[in-house]
Amino acid sequence: MSLFLIIDILGTIAFSISGVLTALKKRMDPFGILIIAFVTAVGGGTLRDVLIDADITWMRNLTFVYVIFITFIVAVIFRKKLGYVRKSLFLFDTIGIALYTIVGVEKGIAAGFPPIICVALGTMTACFGGVIRDILCNEIPIIFRKEIYATACILGGTAYFLLMKTTLTEDWVVVISGSLVILVRLLAVIFKLSLPNIYKDQIVIDKE
């Protein structure tokens, strides 16, 4: 089993558990929890594949279906203990978005899209599973309010493109741009960085 696949599976597990946790907070039943775990893990990639008119990976290759299903079962059984693995989850999740970003960018390049669209596809792959999760849970998507993920993905995806124009091998480009995603996200969480707050002065834009 390649390192790439192991990282992908760890990311999928982290994303699925994030879905289970959100669904539990909304007191969903087991079917609802399973669906939320599923869309959190594969929703971003599915949206990407629909937009670029590609085959949807998880519908042909069942590896991720099984990984999500087993994660769902284990996470529901041990739901009271999930707090203990929070730090590991955060790590897997961060590595997962780095990988998902690169997968999305590469799929966009392979289909011949312009660089800016490829970066958008990478960001979508990493972030929009969470957006669909939040919509199905009747919440404004968290990354639209307290942005943690998306900037890291945009920077990493952009780095991927710039580095591909150098003499670096593709392996190095993947490692460096993926590490950039991880680094930006870790620094953002450690130093509580966020995008500039444009509401400081509490202007009421529209009273209607």
Query: Binding to a copy of itself by residue 171, rule CB under 8 A?
Result: no
For a copy of itself, which residue of 62, 70, 187, 193 counts as binding (CB under 8 A)? Answer: 62
Q: Which residues contact 71 (CB under 8 A, 6 or more apart)?
A: 12, 13, 16, 17, 20, 37
Is 192 a binding residue for a copy of itself by CB under 8 A? The answer is no
Q: Write the binding mask 15 to 34 for a copy of itself: x where contact by CB under 8 A, - elsewhere.
A: ------x-xxxxxxxxxxx-
CB burial string 43-59: b at 16+ within 10 A, e below: bbbbbbbeebeeeeebe
Give least dist CB 174 to a copy of itself, A. Answer: 23
Task: Output 53 or 171, the one with its CB closest to a copy of itself.
Answer: 53
Query: Taking CB under 8 A as the criterion, which residues in 122-151 touch a copy of itself?
Result: 131, 135-141, 143-147, 150-151
> Among 93, 72, 84, 68, which Cα is nearest to 28's?
72
- Applying the rule CB under 8 A, the residues between 74 and 133 that interact with a copy of itself are 76, 79-80, 82-83, 113-114, 116-117, 131
Q: Closer CB to a copy of itself, residue 56 or residue 175?
A: 56
Residue 122: CA count within 13 A, CB half-sphere: 35
- Asked whether 92 and 108 are in contact (CB, 8 A), the reply is no
13 near 67, Cβ under 8 Å? yes
Could you tell me the smallest distance in angstroms from the CB atom of residue 51 to a copy of itself?
6
Tell me the CA distances in angstroms from 51 to 17, 38, 84, 167, one per residue in order: 26, 19, 38, 32
Note the residues at the interface with a copy of itself (CB under 8 A). 21, 23-33, 35-36, 46, 50-53, 55-56, 59-60, 62, 65, 76, 79-80, 82-83, 113-114, 116-117, 131, 135-141, 143-147, 150-151, 194-199, 203, 205-206
